[in-house]
Structure 1
Amino acid sequence: DAGYDLSGLLPRLQQRWQQAPQAAADTAPLAPTQRYDVLVVGGGAAGCAVTASLLRRNPQLRIALIEPREQHYYQPGWTLVGAGVFDRAQTERPMARCIPHGAQWLHAAVAGFEPEQQRVVLEDGNRVGYRALIVCPGLTLDWDGIDGLRQTLGKHGVTSNYQFELAPYTWQLVQNLRRGRALFTQPPMPIKCAGAPQKAMYLSCDWWQKQGVLKDIEVEFCSAGGVLFGVADFVPPLMQYVERYGARLNFNHTLTAVDGPGHKAWFRQVDAEGKASVVEKDFDFLHVVPPQRAPEFIRQSPLANADGWLEADHETLRHPRFGNIFSLGDVCAAPNAKTAAAVRKQAPVVAENVLAVLAGRGPRALYDGYGSCPLTVERGKVVLAEFGYGGKLLPTFPLDPTVPRRLAWELKVKLMPRIYFDLMLRGHEWLAAPKRLPHDPVPVDAPAACNFEQEKGK
């Protein structure tokens, strides 16, 4: 009556209202379905990089990339924004400039998946079909997972480098703090860039030390985990900086609530016997890293595992139950570090394996779990932690990776943003060639191997 056609939304509305049987929803009228060779969900680092890698291998592919946001962010740079090294504008570009040339940008959000029909459901109810699907929407920062946090973010000394708008506030707080208690938190794993919580601490302490005020600041690192860093080889050099800055390590401390105006924070502490208690801490400066999880439309989909992340074989990154669906980036359930460096190695693997499946063959490119965490331990020096599955060290350069180096700082500050925007997002796979099986596996019977021309004919 109001002049809007809601027929595409009818199945979802009926399910939500629970006023009609599921059979009625299944037979509701649907909008015409567009179909593509490859459909990519997510226009972040993973989505743009894998799309560009595909198009460099086969420019004739019909690819659509679904992404609702207008802006694209270089998130690894936000730690440096919070330390006064980068300007926030250096980490942002319009999404239109980042979508690879040759791909169609569907400016929309995804609501669900219909893998048996090879379709993705958009929030407006429309369906988009595919021969192969790549799912990489990133993860969700759960700011509401900590009581009182959302109401006090960006004021009362509470900040986070995990949000574009707040990183400059971190730098403002660091410059203004002269005495008191500074708390840095880390939530339970998995999180994106597991080293970022402590990188904020190191760079802040380095500044306070150079200003001669660190002796008057009580620094504490409160981590939900039981170790400083997940790869044991890098713990000794990091501990040298913890001691240098006089920081106190509080392991098995999970931030649960914040009172910004009262400058108080509460943590759930678990002792060696597994007994939990609540610890209250005052603060003058609080850098928070929120708990993180897969987006809701992933968690509630048939593609998710029991923990809500998108299922994937750890080597081929293919879904174990749907042979024409792949994932990479932060949403992927593979047990690798969730970093942009991991995406740089994952994108060629997924691109080659998607093309193999489209051709009716099995995947042969393998991902070794590579991830990199440039640990900025002070201004001018970085411990370049590069590792794969099981904590295996995978250094790019023939140097001891546990030694803090100025060369690694130059790489992170001067080269990595350009490598990210101008190379990785454009399909230039610098030092990223995937390992491959020696021979093509036996062809698999996957839905994506159907004849697309016959599909279009129908």
Structure 2
Amino acid sequence: MDAQTNTFEVVIVGGGSAGCGVAASLLKRDPSLSIAIIEPSTQHYYQPAWTLVGAGEFEANKTVRDMADCIPSGVTWLKAAATTFDPANHQVHTDHLGAVTYQYLIVCPGLTLNWDAIKGLKESLGMYGVTSNYRYDLAPYTWELVKKFHSGTAIFTQPAMPIKCAGAPQKAMYLSCSHWEHRGLLSGINVDFHNAGGVLFGVKDYVEPLMQYVRRYGAHLNFNSTLIEVDGPKKTAVFQIKDADGNTTIQSKRFDMLHVVPPQTAPAFIKASPLANADGWVEVDQHTLQHVRFPNIFGLGDATSTPNAKTLAAVRKQVVIVAENLLALKAGQAMPSRYDGYGSCPLTVEKGKIILAEFGYGGKLVPTFNWDSTKPRWSAWILKKYILPTVYWRLMLKGREWLARCGACG
């Protein structure tokens, strides 16, 4: 870095899984690089475990660490928020550190949870039986509700795509039902799943295995049903329901427990930037992850336009693609690596068993292990609960790329 001009070879916007992971992978390949991460948050979260926190299977405090401990050694942490991009001058402007100049830019700020899109939701969260595993402070409240729940109506919602971890809304439902089933309470509980989309899961091979659990738990599926309002004190949820002809009706439902997943969008500063496509996402080539208009810019993670599932497993593969392709570009060589759209969603269908859904572009199944990935397995539960958190903290954030190559990588 040039201390006077805030200039770096590589600037990374976002210090989450993608930002820290790709910084570590770059330094593994070239320790001489000057790299900066622009990130305002002081805490770093391992979000995939929050579903388990909401089921009493993981401790919330084990999912958070100080950001200072997660920024890779040798990387400059700029404790600021990116506000605008000036790709013509190779600069990122920040809220209080001025302009940061780069030779190469990597954009991975994650996405925004739009709690305000649902009327009354923010005022009700954490009270009245309204919760969400998509927030660190609320996942423990989910478990408090589940373990005290004996009868009544439990509603679980899923917004329109894209969202991070598309299976998480129903995972909350399955794990809650598994607990109630084990305690012999399920017959007295009415379970409703309201999905803004038209299918249970986007990859058809996994739909019937999941439907077996829907039937087992007696859950009622409501498709094309979008949560638009919550009245916590009155314990009422309001849904907009669309029929086959596109006509909409409004329906109110009483609840005793309501697990909400909010709509999700690209961050506002990304939407308003020259890096965005018409839908507001960082516009990159879906295979090279290079920006389609600005060759010295790459993107990865949840904020990009790539049509893959927005999961940590996808990021784990993408960091390798970006690191190798950026360094090849820097060296004047052809970019060697291609992303195949890999994403993984460990579907926690019951306590102790997971359907480890793994798929790439076009819904192609790309299992890591030599097994039928549509079958629920105890070994996949062990992988998610015990192995993957360790892989994240000790390997991925340190540039050690265990199971991080996709089938189409060069």
Answer whether TM exceeds 0.5 for this pair. yes
Distance 1:412 1:437 in 2: 24
CA distance, structure 2, for counterparts of residue 370 and residue 421 of structure 1: 21
Q: 2:101 is matched by which residue type in structure 1?
A: G
The correspondence of residues 105-144 of structure 1 with structure 2, limited to 5 A, is 105-124=77-96, 126-144=98-116
* Superposed displacement of residue 431, structure 1: 2.1
Alignment partner, residue 205 of structure 2: 233
The answer (yes or no) to whether the contact 2:54–2:172 under 8 Å persists in 1 is: yes
Task: After TM superposition, give the deviation of residue 435 of structure 1 in Å.
Answer: 6.0
Deviations 1:10-46 (A, max 9, x none): xxxxxxxxxxxxxxxxxxxxx9531111000101000
Q: Work out the CA distance in 2 between the residues paired with 1:217 and 1:437.
A: 47
> Does residue 323 of structure 2 align to residue 351 of structure 1?
yes
Give 3-state SS (helix, strand or coil) of 2:293's partner.
coil
Aligned match of 1:17:
none
Instruction: Confirm or deny: 8 A CA contact 2:339 2:409 kept in the other structure.
Output: no
Aligned pairs, number: 408
Q: Secondary structure at the match of 2:354?
A: strand
Aligned partner of 2:281 in structure 1 is 309
- Indicate if the aligned counterparts of 1:138 and 1:294 stay in contact, CA closer than 8 A: yes
| Equivalent position amino acid for 1:67 in 2 | E
Q: Does 1:270 align with 2:242?
A: yes
Q: Shift in Å at residue 213 of structure 1?
A: 1.1
Aligned counterpart in structure 2 of residue 392 of structure 1, from 357, 360, 364: 364
The offset of 1:364, in angstroms, is 2.4
Looking at structure 2, the residues matched to 267 and 425 of structure 1 have their Cα atoms a distance apart, in angstroms, of: 40
Q: Secondary structure at the match of 1:366?
A: coil
What secondary structure does 1:89 align onto? helix
The DSSP-based 3-state class of the residue aligned with 2:269 is helix
Once the two structures are TM-superposed, the CA of residue 298 in structure 1 deviates from its matched residue by: 0.5
Q: Would you say 1:409 and 2:376 are equivalent positions? A: no
Q: 2:34 aligns with which of 59, 62, 70?
A: 62
Asked if the contact 1:32/1:126 (under 8 Å) is kept, the reply is no
Alignment partner of 2:52: what SS? helix
Corresponding position of 1:48:
20
Which moves more between the two structures, 309-318 or 355-364?
355-364
Greater radius of gyration (CA): 1
Deviation at 1:143, TM superposition (A): 0.2
Whichever residue aligns with residue 254 of structure 1, its letter is T
What stretches of structure 2 of length at least 5 have no aligned partner?
none
> Contact 1:366–1:435 (CA<8 Å) still a contact in 2?
no
For residues 135-164 of structure 1, what are the alpha-carbon distances to aligned partners after superposition, in whole Å with 9 as ceiling and x for unaligned? 001000000000000011000000000000
Give the alignment partner of residue 7 of structure 2, picking from 26, 35, 51: 35
The ranges of structure 1 where at least 4 consecutive aligned residues each deviate by more than 3 angstroms after the TM superposition are 434-438
Percent identity for Structure 1 against Structure 2: 61
Map residues 215-230 of structure 1 onto 2, 5 A cutoff: 215-230=187-202
Q: Helix, strand or coil for the counterpart of 1:203?
A: helix
Query: Structure 1 86/436 Cα, relative in aligned 2: closer, same or farther at 3 Å?
Result: closer
1:148-167 equivalent positions in 2, closer than 5 A = 148-167=120-139
